[in-house]
Each structure stands twice: as C-alpha cells, then as structure tokens.
Chain A
Amino acid sequence: MKKIISLFVSIHFCFFAFSQESNIGVITGNFNLNLQSYQEDSKIGAEAQDEIILNNAYLNLNYTRGNFASGIRYESYLNALADFDPEFKGNGIMYRYATYSIDNLEITAGNYYEQLGSGLIFRSYEEKGLGIDNAMDGVRLKYVPIDGLYLKTFIGKSRTHFTYSDGIFRGADAELNINEILNSELKTKFILGGSFVSRYQQRDNLIFQIPQNVSAYASRINLMHGKWSNFGEYAYKINDPANVLSQSQMNYANGTAFTQNITFSKRGFGISAEMHRTDNMTFKSDRDRDGKAYIINYIPTLSKPHTYSLLALYPCATQADGELGIQFDIFYKFKKGSRLGGKYGTKIAINYSQINALEGGPSFLNDIRTHKPTFINFDEVLHYQDFNISVAKKINRKLNTNFIFANQTYNKDVLEGKPIGDYGILNSTILVSDISYKIKAGHTIRLELQSLISSQIEDGKQPKEGDWSMSLIEYTISPHWFLSIQDMYNYGNEDINKQLHYVNINAGFIKGANRFEIGYGKKREGIFCVGGVCKTVPSSNGFSLSVSSSF
C-alpha cells in the first residue's frame, strides 16, 4: 500500500514539474480544514474532549491532460470532530485514481464514486457533512458502443473509514436513449435503464443458510414530453439475511423499492407529485456490521430539505427498511406588475409530504414467521408529515423578504431509532421570516426570526423540548467580510434547567480562492440530515475555525 502511495505521489510531482516547464496537463486542487475546540458545558450536556481540539482536513490534487486524469486526496483526522465517527482516525491518502478514455471506452483504476440509477441498489459517494465516504476501490469501465447506448461495469470494495469492507461488489448498468439511437426528432423522449449489482461475502453459519452472493436489480424509465417529465425506478434485492444465531433476526424476505415522480414545469409555474415505497431495502457492504459507513445504497428523501434551523430541527430520516410516502410540490410566480406580484413579482411554493410505516411493518420471511405488507397501504404509524408554504418577495431594490409557514409531525422514536414510547410523536408549527436590507453598495444586513410551537400527538416518557425561538442577524460587506450572531432559545423545555440559549457567533473573510471562518458557540444535541441520510450531532461548546481554498 505504501509503495502504491509513494508511486502516486512521485508521479504527481513529475507531472507537476512538467506542467510548470512544458505546460503539459493541468493540476487543480482544493483544501479544507475544520477545527473545533470542545469545552465542558454540563447544562447542555456537552463534554470536553481529552484532545481539547479536534480537527478534520483534506487536500484534493487532480491532474488532467487530454483524455488522461489522475488524482489523490490526503485526509487528516487528528482526531476526528466529535460529530464524526471516531473510526476516522489518523492521516492517509485514502483516495487515488487514474483514468483515461479512448475510442469511447473509459477505464478507471483505483478509487471511484459510482451511482446506479437514483441509487436504490447502489450508491458510492462522499458527503463530508455527514461523515460518509464509501468510495470504491477497484476498476470501472464505461463504454459507449453506439450513440444512445451507455454501458458501464465495475468491480471493487467499498471504503469504510480507513479501510475497506469485506464484501466485493460487481455491478453493471445499461442506459438506452431511444431518441438518440433512432436519431429521432420526436417530441417525446424515452430513456430506459437497467442496473445490477452483486455482493460477495464469504460467511458460514452453524444453524442457518447464508447466501454468499447477494444481488440487486433495478430498472428505470424517464419519459419527457414538452413540459412534462416522468421518472420511475423499481428495485429488487434478493434474500439478504443477517449472519446471527437468533432466528427472530434472520429475515430471508426480498427487498423492494420504487420511486415515481411526475413533474410539469413552465416559466413561473411548476408542479410535481412523487411517491416512494421501500421494503427491506437496506443494502450493506458487510452483512455483519451496522452503521451508515456500511450502507451501499441510497433511497432519495421524500420530504423537502429545509435549511432554516427550526424547520430542520426535526428532519425526516429515510427508512430503507420500510416506509411509504407521497410528496406534492407547487411553485408559482406572480408576474411583475400583477396585483400580487407587485413591482418585482412574488414567488410562492407549497409543499406537502407524508410518510408512514408499511402496513404491519416490513416484509419478513423465515421458518417461523412470514409477513408481506400490502403494496400500497399506509400503516397507521405515521413517520413524518410536513406541510409548508413559502412566500418570497422583493419589496424594492433594497429590501428582500422570505416568509415560511410550516406544520410538521415527527415520530421521534421511529426516525431516531429510540425505543417506542420514549419520545412519542410531536407536532410543531413553525414560522420563519427572513428579511435582508441593502444599506449601501456592498453592505447588506439580514435578519432572520423563527418560532417553533410544539405539542405532543403521542406522549413519551422523556422530557419534552417544547417550544423554540431563533433569531439571527448577519452583516455582509461583500465581497470580503461577513459576521453573524445567532441565538436559538429553548424557552419551552419541560425541564426548567434546560430552558437555555444556544448562541453562536461567526465571522468570515473571503479573498480570492481562500475563505476563512471563525466561530464560537453552543450546539444542541440533535439530528443533521442531508437528503434523508442523517447523523446524530452531540451537543458541544467551543471555538471553531474553518479554512477552505482552491487552485
């Protein structure tokens, strides 16, 4: 391994030398550092870290010349930030690759990221915010034999922290663009796709049969006609039981998932309806391990990803093991000059999503129990519901506003994997107003006020967090400076000692390709999600420094 790394490093230095002297090829790169100090704060439950300061950093270097590309990423976790999996520990070059393409064939050796369809059966990706990086290590071929037919196949192992998982993945995908193949000018466009992936992991079990090769298939169709677009994907995974000795945990049922999305959009108006269903569809790179580092597929989320703090306080985590959900979106822009549009127009967006359990729970099959939920039947157990309306309006050249009303229902026990009855189901009504005012050229002040009123639909045993308020003021002197002060206040906490302010101050400086940000504040223990994939964030109190740079 060390030899390979040093070989890559020396190759890059050689190329770099060439690029300086002979101008053959280009080197690009970017760097990011996140450093945080941790002090004890017993009120919010924040723990001091033995190291006092924790740090995540990485540097990407990429070299490209014509149809050849190569690169490495150096990563440093000394030690990883508290909201990261502590298995990320140490330094190393954990990503290196070389790729070239010739005569419609692209060959990649080393690390690569890959996604089949929308990811229902396979998605290798990185999401730094979540601490996910399941990059593949192996080889991948992509081939375009004729226009409109796109083939790819790969083999490799998936990354887990600083090593690779036990399972070997073999995958393939074919995508057919009918219009391109027929060279047709038809208004209706068809794209068909089929994908396959298989995991091999040698396992023996004294008592139960264990399939050594577990495969999953998916087919997809994308239809576009004028302003209409339809995407549907159906996925199937064969029996993939755990490798344990307890019969109650040995589930031989197949996994299925489908997602269906219809959208209509034209200038100033858009509508979309979406539905998905997952059943027993957690696909892992190692059947013996738990945790998000070992998840190798991805179920796209079915709820609106919110960015405002109180709207994202109770986010929806997709349950690959079983859920059935729907989502509707409407977007409309009242034209400039109309009664509701005013001088600059008014944008309004309405979103509704509801996600329930599968009827009677996910599919189950073994010698003592069989259960197959009805295909489309919302169980009475609600996971998540969100109704929200946002209105964005520019009042004049200086004043910009955005208002949001939302009502969310959150099954904390199910979505956060807590014992049923611990926290119950809570309902929250949230109001957000976001107003920015341009004081003079380059100087903008932004004020954000949020309120969350909470009530319990089903009671739990643990103390309730209750109501929250949040206020933020941000001053930007573009293009170089920004400063923000934010206060989240849990004034409605059932526990009087936890009716606390979580104040954060951040300041940043941007110049050219470099960005610096320092901050100090308290974070609440909670859930942070990106695209329905979530992580638990522990409470913390301390300083932070972030540096990013690119060339």
Chain B
Amino acid sequence: MKKYLFITSLIILSNSCDIVEGPYITDSNSYVNPEKNVLIEDFTGHLCSNCPEAAREISAIHDVYGDQIIALAIHTSTSFARPYLASQTGFQYDFRTTWGEAWDNNFGASAIGLPRGMVNRIGGQSPTLSKDEWAEVVADELKKEIDFKIEISSDANSVTISVESQKNSSGAYNYVICLAESNIINWQKDGSLNVENYEHNHVLRCVLADDNLSSSSTFLSGQLIEKTIEYNLADLQQFNIDYSSQTAEAGNGNAGNWNPENISIIAFIYNTNTNEILQVKEVDLNS
C-alpha cells in the first residue's frame, strides 16, 4: 500500500508545472520598456504665443510616463526667439544658442512654424511633428528595446558618460552631451497674454559634444565605452553672451545669469544615418 501511495505522489508531483505558450505579452498596448527613455526636442521661442501649449503637452506626457520622458526646449529663429529692443517692454532675454539654431536649420522646424518638435528624431529626414502627434510616437518609442545604456557622472569641471552596448550590433552612432536649465522665470507670450513670470524649463544652454561614439562600427553586447568632456560653466555662459551679441540676428548679449543648481546634463546617442535617438539620459549637474 505504501509503495502505491508513494508512486501516486510521484505522479501528482510530475504534473505540477505551467508551460507558457506565446504570445508572452498579455497587454501589448500598455507595455512600456522601463529602461527606454524618450527625448522630446521642443522648438520654441518666447515670442511664440502657441508654444506654451506645446510645453503643457510635454508636461502632460511626463505626468503619464514620468522621468522616462526627457524634454529639451530649443529657443530658435529670429521671428520667435529674438529679444525685444531695449526700448520695448519685456522679452529682453536671448535664449537662442548656436547649436539650437543649427538643429533648427538642419531639421527645418521654425521654417514650418512653431511649435514644432521631434520625438527621438523619428521620421528620417523630416522628423519634426506638431505637438498633437507627439504622444503616439512617445508610446511607440517606449515599447522599443534599448541598444545602449547610458550612465552620466559629473563634477565641477567634467562630465563622463559611460555607454554600455546591450547587444551585438553594427552602425554609425554619435553621442551628444548638452546642458539644459530649468526654473528660469522670464517673459513668454502665451496666447494673447504677455506673461512676465513664465517658468521656462529644460532650456537648451549648450552642447558639449556631438561626436562619434566609436571609431569602430561594431558593438559587442556588454561593451563599455566611456567619454569624458571637460567644461567650464563661466566660459560656456560667455560663449552664449558673445553669440547673442556678435552672431545671432537681433541679439543683445543678454544670455547670462545661469544658475548651476537648475542645470541638468542630457546625453543621448543617435544613429547618424537615420537621425533616430536610441537612448537618452538626464541627471543634475554635479551629480
């Protein structure tokens, strides 16, 4: 009897397993890859009265996905971002940068009309989208797997990014490191209003690097690439002041007063053939 009981218990045991068949994903619409981040580059200007709506859209997307959404406000073009003359009221600050103007020229944002933005630069040669198109592309992008993982560290003089390849791949990639500042209180047109105390967030201040990620086009899973860039905040600020006063159309040199406490580092990697941003990361400066 004992023998049979024993053998019966063995048979019962051998049935206790759950073999799962694909599709393994039960709710693909809700799926978000928690490691994937998305960069929304918002071409904007303080004279653009519709632009705050785009900023509010970014804020709404951020409310849904949290810090997986990283934003960069790129003030650009003479029409939308020039400072007013000193004799006029308000709008005296010049948020423009040489890099923002170059990206605008390259991707053709202000030529179509602002606000205009890019979500991970998806869309090949014409990646700019109207704000109402952003959320859908964000949801698609967040489902993607990451090819590279980015970690950022910095001190008062240098920024280091370490990029870990997540799989064996080949391609031509650039890395970009830029600085953005938030909580800047200044003038902004918002609909029919001229808002004096508008809070400007994640404003592009400068690009520290935009260069080849590797001299090789082959990347191995687990491979680690480190890049260190030296910087001097005072020099960078002076560079923007000089750019505003000497180069930018209708500039006034009023591009200083940076607050290091509100500056963050944004680093991303993009495919130089398709422009697609594969991964992006943001940390506070001096973290």
Contact = CB atoms under 8 A, between A and B. Distances in A.
Interface of A: 105, 141, 143, 145, 151, 153, 170-172, 174, 196, 198, 200, 205-215, 217, 238-239, 241, 244-248, 250, 252, 361, 365-368, 413, 419-422, 461
A523 to B, nearest CB: 28
B20 A207 contact: no
Contacts of B20: 209-211, 239, 252
A422 B220 CA distance: 13
A419 B166 CA distance: 11
A198 B25 CA distance: 24
Contacts of A422: 224
A211 B35 CA distance: 24
Contacts of B13: 153, 170-172, 196, 198
Contacts of A205: 26
A429 to B, nearest CB: 28
B79 to A, nearest CB: 43
17 contacts: A105-B2, A141-B6, A143-B6, A170-B13, A172-B14, A198-B13, A200-B16, A208-B24, A208-B25, A211-B17, A211-B18, A215-B14, A248-B146, A252-B22, A252-B24, A419-B164, A422-B224
B106 interface: no
A217 B15 CA distance: 11
A196 B24 contact: no
Nearest to A210: B20
Contacts of A143: 2-3, 6
Given A105-B2, A209-B24, A421-B223, A247 B33 contact: yes
Contacts, number: 115
Contacts of B25: 207-209, 247, 367
Contact of A153 (B10, B19, B22, B32): B10
B113 interface: no
A174 B13 CA distance: 13
B19 A211 contact: yes
B125 interface: no
A244 B24 CA distance: 13
Contacts of A209: 20, 24-26
B9, B24, B221, most chain A CB atoms within 10 A: B24
Given A151-B6, A153-B9, A420-B221, A213 B22 contact: no
A170 B24 CA distance: 26
Contacts of B16: 170, 198, 200, 213, 215
Contacts of B191: none
Given A420-B223, A420-B224, A198 B17 contact: yes
A365 to B, nearest CB: 8
Nearest to A196: B14
Contacts of A198: 13, 16-17
A246 B226 CA distance: 25
A324 B148 CA distance: 28
A172 B9 contact: yes
A293 B220 CA distance: 30
B17 A208 contact: no
Contact of A214 (B18, B146, B223): B18
Given A248-B146, A368-B145, A239 B9 contact: no
A161 to B, nearest CB: 27
Interface in B109-164: 143, 145-146, 164
A211 B3 CA distance: 32
A206 B17 contact: no
Interface string B17-47: 1111011111110111111000000000000
Contacts of A213: 16-18
A151 B10 CA distance: 9
Interface string B62-106: 000000000000000000000000000000000000000000000
Contact of B32 (A171, A245, A361): A245
Contacts of A244: 34
A151 B25 CA distance: 40
B222 interface: yes
Contacts of B35: 246, 248
Contacts of B18: 211-214, 238
Contacts of B166: 248
Nearest to B147: A248
A262 B105 CA distance: 71
B255 to A, nearest CB: 39
A287 to B, nearest CB: 13
Contact of B2 (A145, A196, A212): A145
Interface string B209-223: 000000000001111
A238 B10 contact: no
Contacts of A212: 18
Contacts of A151: 6-7, 10
Nearest to B16: A198
Contacts of A170: 13, 16
B144 to A, nearest CB: 9
A145 B3 contact: yes
Contacts of B221: 361, 420
A248 B220 contact: no
B28 to A, nearest CB: 8
A505 B34 CA distance: 52
Given A213-B17, A215-B17, A246-B35, 7 more contacts: A151-B6, A153-B13, A172-B14, A209-B26, A238-B19, A361-B221, A421-B220
A367 B17 contact: no
Given A366-B24, A367-B24, A246 B34 contact: yes
B73 to A, nearest CB: 29
A447 to B, nearest CB: 43
A196 B12 CA distance: 11
A506 B221 CA distance: 45
Given A198-B13, A211-B18, A213-B17, A241 B33 contact: no
B223 A245 contact: no
Contacts of B23: 367
A211 B13 CA distance: 16
A141 B6 CA distance: 9
Nearest to A207: B31
A104 to B, nearest CB: 9
A246 B68 CA distance: 13
B145 A239 contact: no
A210 B223 CA distance: 31
A252 B21 CA distance: 9
A238 B13 CA distance: 15
Contacts of B223: 419-421
Contact of A206 (B2, B27, B33): B27
Contacts of A238: 17-19
A290 B133 CA distance: 41
B2, B16, B35, most chain A CB atoms within 10 A: B16
Contacts of B33: 245-248
B224 A207 contact: no
B227 to A, nearest CB: 13
A211 B6 CA distance: 27
A286 to B, nearest CB: 17
A153 B18 CA distance: 20
Interface string B163-176: 01010000000000
Contacts of A420: 220-224
A-B complex: 10 closest residue pairs judged by Cβ atoms: A215-B17, A420-B222, A211-B18, A419-B224, A145-B3, A198-B16, A213-B18, A248-B145, A172-B10, A209-B20
